[in-house]
C-alpha cells in the first residue's frame, strides 16, 4: 500500500492504518498486534521532497523541490514476497534517484549536490 503524509502529525500513517482501516502495519509494536514484537516495522519512506532556496534566481525562480527516491531495503522486499505481496512499482528495483522539481538528475554518491547541478537541471526542465 502506498501512503502519503498530509499533516505531519506524529504516527499519522500508523494510527490511520491501525485504528481507521483496521489494518496495522506489519511489525508495529505500538498500534499493531502484541505478538509482532520480534518483527521489523514494515514502513519505508520511498520518496521525500523538500523545498530548497537558491542563492541566485534561476529563470526568475528562487525555490525548487529537491526529491530523494530510495527503493525499499532488500529485507522489506523479501518479507513482502514471503507474505505473498507483490511489489510492482517502478522504484522497487532501482537505485537511489534524485529529482529537481520532479525531473530526475544524474546521481553519484561521491559528489555533493551543489547549486550548479541544480541550476542546470532547472534550465534543462524549462527547455523540455
* Domain boundaries of the chain, sorted by first residue: 1-43, 44-127
Handedness of CA 12, 86, 80, 107 (dihedral sign): negative
Instruction: Give the pLDDT confidence score for residue 78 in this predicted structure.
Output: 83
Cell (9 digits) for 42: 514494515
Q: Supply the pLDDT for residue 92.
A: 60
Q: Are 117 and 125 in contact (CB under 8 A)?
A: no
pTM metric for this prediction: 0.67
Return the higher-pLDDT residue of 123 and 50. Answer: 50
Tens digits of residue pLDDT in 90-127:
666 667 888 888 888 887 777 777 778 888 888 887 77
Confidence of residue 58 (pLDDT cuts 50, 70, 90): confident
| Stronger pLDDT, 109 or 51, i.e. the higher one | 51
Query: To the nearest whole percent, how much of the chain has pLDDT over 90?
Result: 12
The pLDDT score that the predictor gives to residue 21 is 92
Amino acid at each position: 500500500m502506498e501512503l502519503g503524509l498530509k499533516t505531519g502529525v506524529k504516527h499519522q500513517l500508523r494510527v490511520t492504518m491501525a485504528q481507521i482501516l483496521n489494518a496495522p502495519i506489519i511489525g508495529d509494536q505500538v498500534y499493531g498486534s502484541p505478538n509482532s514484537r520480534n518483527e521489523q516495522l514494515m514502513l519505508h519512506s520511498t520518496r521525500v521532497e523538500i523545498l530548497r532556496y537558491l542563492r541566485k534566481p534561476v529563470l526568475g525562480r528562487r525555490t525548487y523541490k529537491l526529491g530523494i527516491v530510495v527503493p525499499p531495503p532488500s529485507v522489506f522486499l523479501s518479507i513482502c514476497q514471503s507474505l505473498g505481496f507483490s511489489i510492482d512499482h517502478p522504484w522497487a528495483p532501482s537505485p537511489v534517484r534524485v529529482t529537481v522539481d520532479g525531473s530526475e538528475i544524474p546521481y553519484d554518491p561521491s559528489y555533493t549536490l551543489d547549486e550548479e547541478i541544480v541550476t542546470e537541471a532547472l534550465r534543462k526542465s524549462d527547455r523540455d
